[in-house]
Copies of this chain bind each other. A is one copy, B any other.
């Protein structure tokens, strides 16, 4: 009866296959990523995802008790990747320079249209589902805080207008970038030029008046 849960205290060290488990979990998340990017959250079936992950459907349910849980986990995973991206800006001397560099790297990445699509799916899911909205806003706050730190640095250097409220500006830039990003899902003529223009407008908006 209590065999499966028997005396965890008797197990020394970390559970035997925690590593393999985490690996499998990631494998599923990757497969889900590919599926969601291809067809969206709702149009991707558990069968499709598990097949893409090279696992049985029932197996999937041992890692995510619900499809919604899988969706949520993937969203969280994705949002963390976004945070990592923003944190790259910290390394750049100048916010706008850094933004430019990161943005150009992103726009040149062939996987960006898919990433942009996924971002839209996430925004839409947050609009539909209050739970997702909460998760999204929590991640958003961390990102904005990171971004505002870089902005403040820019203000100290003088490249960004000191009158601007760093946190508010962070929120707006974030939103703006989402808008610009959403265009990268579409077959537009010159994505690179488009992104360059976006960055340039942001620069104009933030730069200290003479």
A residues touching B (Cβ–Cβ < 8 Å)? Answer: 13, 39-40, 42-43, 56, 59, 113, 116-117, 120-121, 123-124, 126-128, 130, 133, 136-137, 168-169, 171-172, 174-183, 185-188, 194, 197-198, 201-202, 204-206, 209-210
New A-B contacts (18) at CB < 8 Å, excluding given A40-B128, A179-B181: A13-B56, A39-B128, A113-B127, A117-B128, A127-B182, A133-B186, A171-B194, A172-B180, A172-B198, A172-B201, A174-B179, A175-B182, A179-B182, A201-B205, A204-B205, A205-B205, A209-B210, A210-B210
A175 close to B180 (CB less than 8 A)? yes
B120 close to A185 (CB less than 8 A)? no
B39 close to A186 (CB less than 8 A)? no
A92–chain B nearest beta-carbon distance, Å: 21
Specify the chain B residue showing the minimal Cβ separation from A174. Answer: B179
6 pairs of A and B residues whose beta carbons are closest in the complex: A179-B179, A127-B185, A205-B205, A42-B42, A178-B179, A117-B127
A123 close to B120 (CB less than 8 A)? yes
A175 close to B168 (CB less than 8 A)? no
B186 close to A127 (CB less than 8 A)? yes
Specify the chain B residue showing the minimal Cβ separation from A136. Answer: B186
Tell which of B123, B180, B186 touches A185, judged by Cβ atoms closer than 8 Å. B123
Cα-based distance from A188 to B188 in the complex (angstroms)? 32
Cα-based distance from A40 to B42 in the complex (angstroms)? 9
Known A172-B180, A197-B168; judge A120-B127 contact (CB<8 A): yes
Q: Which residues of B contact A204 (CB under 8 A)?
A: 204-206
Q: Which residues of B contact A206 (CB under 8 A)?
A: 204
Q: Which residues of B contact A130 (CB under 8 A)?
A: 187
